[in-house]
Structure formats: C-alpha cells, structure tokens
Structure 1
C-alpha cells in the first residue's frame, strides 16, 4: 500500500504571521466587544474548537450555537483580511516537497490540523498550497487532537475507498501534540522544529524522524516515501 501523509498546517507548512490569532481577537471584539488578555490561552498543537472554547470561558461568553456561528462567520472574514495584511511565509522546502510528493504515485496527501476546516482552506489557498490536499481531519468539533487524527484516518480511508493501516500513515507536524496524535492512530511521525517548540523538546516526544526544517527536500522525501515493513 502507498503511504498516506497527513500534514499539519501552522508551523509545519507555513507561518501565517499570527493571522489566526489576530483574526480571533478581531472577531471577539466585533461580535462580543471584548479584548485581551489572551496570553494564557495556549494555541499551538490545539484545535480551534478548544482554543475558542477557552476564549469564550475566559471572557464569560455563553457557548451557545448562535454565539458559535456568529463568531465563526466573523473569524473567517477577519482571517481572510489578516492573511492579506500580515507577513506570513511558506516555510523552507515546503513548495518543492509538496510538488514532488504530489507527483509520486506511491503517496497520498492529506491534512491533520487543529484549524477549522474553512480556516484551513483560507490559509492554504492564500499561500497557494490548497491544490495538494483533497481530504483531512480538522478542528471544528473536537477538543483533543487525537480525535482529529482519527477523523483524518477515516477521511483517508474514505478518499482511497479502502482500509488504511496505521503503519502506512505518516503524521507530519511541529508540536508534541502532533507526535502524540500520530501514535494514537498507530502512525509513524516526522516532526519539524519550525514552530514554537525547540528541536530538543520535540526530540523528547519521540518522533520517528526530526528535522530542523524541510529545506533538505530529498532527505524528507526519502523518509516519507519509505514503505512500511
């Protein structure tokens, strides 16, 4: 069986210049009239559902269906604006890596991200990476990234119309949570220290392979295209 490669977005494929955080802050201000502080709300490696739930609780906003839908509508609008204003970048090696992997018949590309699905699409479209990904697991409903990994695995099976064993899956991310959720579905893991976590912290979490960045496209490709034994 070919390998299924599930990529995280923020800190792995791109750095949005904190567009997501900025958009959430602007949406909270617009919809609920609240401002910071936000420093105590951890974001890296978490789902947008969990982050927003913490923000609502912190600012004593009722977690109702109406508040959720109104907030999300404002968030996606502000995210599109923030992506255009802030100085984000595609991270080293990513364009060449994805182009090469997409052309390889022995791999299938997907997403495993804590982003809301629409937010993920907006970010990837802005950086012209969206055409590589036809399916994924997203952070719309779950608080635990392990559950998002299970969604991504189910989406891979549906996309390929066959059962995909964990040993044929690679999870690629920049946080200890990416490593943990990969293990939750029996996948192999490639970690990269282009996010907020250091090489040493990621090494302690025990990925199968660890890179400082993906600028050595050939080395990363070799890892991700190695078939399971």
Structure 2
C-alpha cells in the first residue's frame, strides 16, 4: 500500500483568509489583542506554533492553559469565519480525489498544521471530508516534521488494519509515501519521512521558491495530475 498525504490550506482549498480571521477574533476576545502583528507567518506552519508565536509577541504566556483557551475559542469562531470569507476548492482537487478513490487507494490522508477539528471544519465546509479518514495534525506538535511522522504512523496503522481484515495478516509493509503541499515546509517534512514530495504554487509560495526547495515533482496546480498518478503507479509496482 502507498500513502498519499495532502496539505489543506493552499493545496486542497483556499479559505480566503478564514483561518487568520478566526485567529484574530479569538485573540481579541480571549486575550484583548485588538490587532495581530503581521510578523508571524502562517503558511506551512502548525496552528500551535502560530498561536504560540503570536502569544509571545503580544505578551501572552504561551502555556498549556492559554493554548487550550485559544483552541476552544478558535474552533468556536472558525465555522462563522469560513462562511464570511470567499473561499474555494482549488483546481483539479475534486477530480484527483475522485480518481484516487475510484482506483481503490485506501491510504488517502492529511498532513496539515491545522488542529484536527479545524481541519474537519474546513473540509466539511468545502465538501471534501469524505475523502480523508486519517492524518497528522497540528494539535500537539509545533513541528511540521513531527506532524509528518504522526501522519505516516497513522497511514501504517490504517494499512495494517486493512491488511488484517482482507488477508488475516497483522503487518502491511508500505510501498512508500507521497506528500502534496504548497510550501517549502511541505517539501521539507516530506524529506523528513522519506516521502516523494509534490509541490504546487497554489498557496503559500511562488513557483521559484518551491523549485529552490527541489521537490520531486513541481506542478502548476492539480488540474493535470498525470505525472503524480504515474509516480503512484510506479511506486506501487516496485
């Protein structure tokens, strides 16, 4: 089995800034921060890392209780922010997910800095939730490589369960993994787990920035996914 791990923001969907709006509203309501500093980058990073950096910058102690306070407030405000912003599913995404499902690939997961429930809100809002049953999320770890390791471990768990159900064997050796994302961080975390890195300049980075990170495959977007699908087929045959 082969694991295919998708980033969300800038890769599957563009939310029109809904996440940042929910961040800003939460910091205002919970911590009295009227305007968030623009010095903290969002793209390609975990929600916990972003929140912790913003807390430090605005004089809020980033301890566990404040993280839990932020998390609850953010999840409360995100659905409304998604409705108020003009977002969209990015080109080629639906067709690719449907093609992967039709081909019977069971290991279609997420590798995202979003906290799990935030990821669920976004995917439900854009009608993509049914395509994903597992993933690595930004709840506990500020480190993108740690999230990647968690996503791969989840893929292995799902593969073992599928293998046991279909063949009565406890362990299924993965034939490889692919990470699909829109930032240099996605390429870096793919390397950290030995995965094939696919990059698309549809969100947080330019084509030139992504090319400099040397992904295994660089596409304009996911509209023409034939090179990506060819790599999956090659990996599964090897």
Q: TM-score higher than 0.5 here?
A: yes
1:207-222 map, 5 Å: 207-222=215-230
> How many residues are paired up?
227
Q: What is the Cα deviation at residue 105 of structure 1?
A: 2.1
- 2:233 paired residue number: 225
TM-score for both structures, normalised by structure 1: 0.94
Residues 133/17 of structure 1: CA separation in 2 closer, same or farther (3 Å cut): same
Question: Is 1:205 matched up with 2:213?
Answer: yes
- Contact 1:5/1:107 (<8 A) preserved: no
- Contact 1:102/1:108 (<8 A) preserved: no
2:203 aligned residue (195, 198, 212): 195
**RMSD value, Cα:** 1.5
Question: Is 1:177 matched up with 2:181?
Answer: no
- Contact 2:198/2:217 (<8 A) preserved: yes
2:23, 2:108 → 1: CA distance?
A: 28
1:54-65 map, 5 Å: 54-65=53-64
- 1:114 paired residue number: 113
- 2:165 paired residue number: none
Q: What is the Cα deviation at residue 117 of structure 1?
A: 0.7
1:89, 1:178 → 2: CA distance?
A: 21
Residues 211/222 of structure 1: CA separation in 2 closer, same or farther (3 Å cut): same
Q: What is the Cα deviation at residue 227 of structure 1?
A: 1.9
Q: What is the Cα deviation at residue 160 of structure 1?
A: 1.4
1:140, 1:121 → 2: CA distance?
A: 13
Consecutive unaligned residues of structure 1, counting only runs of 5 or more, are none
- Contact 1:169/1:188 (<8 A) preserved: yes
Q: What is the Cα deviation at residue 81 of structure 1?
A: 0.3
- Contact 2:24/2:36 (<8 A) preserved: no
- Contact 2:36/2:54 (<8 A) preserved: no
